Amino acid sequence: MRFRLALVGFGRVAQSLTKTLIEKRAQLKRQFHFDYEVVAVSDTIKGAVSDPRGLRLQKLLSLAQKNGSIKDYGKGTSGLSAIETIARTEANVLVETTWTNLENGEPGLSHIRKALNKGVHVVTTNKGPIALAYHELASLARRKGCQLRFEGTVLSGTPAISLAKEALAGSTVRSIRGILNGTTNFVLDEMAAGRTYTQALKTAQELGYAEADPITDMEGWDSAAKITILANAVMGGRIRLADVRRQGITRITSEDMSDAQAKRRRIKLVAKAYREKDRIRTQVMPERLEESDLLSHVSGVLNAMILSTDVQPEVAIVGPGAGGDSAGYALLSDLLALNRILNGEES
């Protein structure tokens, strides 16, 4: 299959994917027989353009980077909304990278539903729709014979979903523990080095790790969304985001830090999913970890996930959990997996 991609959302992640697709075109074709065109791009402020013959990617990137807009692209059809782009163009894969909304999943949820209903495969880094509606979307994808892939929603480009679902296929995941949010991990490290919560958060914001509105990260919502995705997609749970027992790091004081250090412990925001009788429980809580715990050594903005399975007691992965390039790579890895599946190399 020749991939005809529609990029909905053309921010950091989609632009990074575009750059990689340009740079690696020859290699991807040679190594994986992966052949593609981007037939549409649609972004609220930057504009929208589509052309069934394929868009000139370098031109799109230059326009977006120089003008913050692709409206001067010139050729093809311009001005289609995201929904119109999905409905009217000949794309066979939607690359959905609009903003994450953990309240109702929009606008990404409608984009993904629209694409799957039309028989269009979906790859996304957008946590909202997957955290809030995984089972609905996965069953819609199955009914329509489509693939829905979302590697970048957890641990960004560090393979978490495919590690659990594909590399460890055939094993049963009994529990998952992880540091799933780099911003809170960075702030806790700074606090362990003697800074107050406010100072640490300010540094994280100056370095571009924390959003101007840091609540989603600091109150544990981002980690809760990710553990919900893992519990549902990897462990077969039926967890709602609201079910996650959740406490963030805003109430941790410098005294808590010194007390933990005196006991040779490190405070980390740990996300967990585990089986209790026939139910799956999820939580995000600050924990005082012993030095022997691998998670206690995950520092700065790194993320980590430890899977406990019936055949292997512990499998761990550590790596970047954010960044446009990392998430852009997650999309590429999903596209290559899709390429393998559609070419019959695996089902």
Ligand X SMILES: NC(=O)c1ccc[n+]([C@@H]2O[C@H](COP(=O)([O-])OP(=O)(O)OC[C@H]3O[C@@H](n4cnc5c(N)ncnc54)[C@H](OP(=O)(O)O)[C@@H]3O)[C@@H](O)[C@H]2O)c1
For 126, the token pair is 């957008």
Rank residues 97 and 147 by Cβ distance to ligand X and give the closer one: 97
Give the CA distances from residue 169 to residues 234, 235, 278, 309, in Å, rounded to whole numbers and listed in that order. Answer: 10, 12, 21, 11
Q: How far is the CB of 134 from ligand X (least distance, A)?
A: 15
The single residue of 226, 263, 268, 277 carrying the catalytic annotation is: 226
By DSSP bridging, strand 265-276 and strand 245-246 are: unpaired
Q: How far is the CB of 311 from ligand X (least distance, A)?
A: 30
Binder among 63, 322, 332, 335 for ligand X (CB under 6 A): 322
Please say if 268 is a catalytic residue.
Answer: no
Rank residues 159 and 267 by Cβ distance to ligand X and give the closer one: 159
Rank residues 186 and 192 by Cβ distance to ligand X and give the closer one: 186
Rank residues 216 and 296 by Cβ distance to ligand X and give the closer one: 216
44 binds ligand X, rule: CB under 6 A:
yes
Rank residues 130 and 252 by Cβ distance to ligand X and give the closer one: 130
Q: How many CB atoms lie under 10 A from the CB of residue 33?
A: 12
216 binds ligand X, rule: CB under 6 A:
no
214 binds ligand X, rule: CB under 6 A:
no
Rank residues 57 and 289 by Cβ distance to ligand X and give the closer one: 57
Element (H, E) at 148: strand 148-149
Q: How far is the CB of 192 from ligand X (least distance, A)?
A: 24
Q: What is the DSSP letter of 297?
A: G
217 binds ligand X, rule: CB under 6 A:
no
Q: Say how many residues touch ligand X, by CB under 6 A.
A: 27
Q: What is the DSSP letter of 296?
A: G
Binding mask 249-288 for ligand X (x = CB under 6 A): ----------------------------------------
47 binds ligand X, rule: CB under 6 A:
no
b/e map of 154-190 (b: 16 or more CB within 10 Å)?
bbbbbbbbbbbeeebeeeebebbbbbbbbbbbbbbbb
**For residue 158, which of 9, 305, 337, 309 has the smallest C-alpha distance?**
305
For 29, the token pair is 């074709």
Binding mask 2-21 for ligand X (x = CB under 6 A): ------xxxxxxx-------
Strands (E), 211-263: 245-246
**For residue 122, which of 87, 97, 93, 144 has the smallest C-alpha distance?**
93
50 binds ligand X, rule: CB under 6 A:
no
Element (H, E) at 36: strand 36-43
Which positions are catalytic?
A: 226
* Interface positions with ligand X (CB under 6 A): 8-14, 42-46, 82, 97-100, 107, 125-127, 152, 156, 322-324, 327
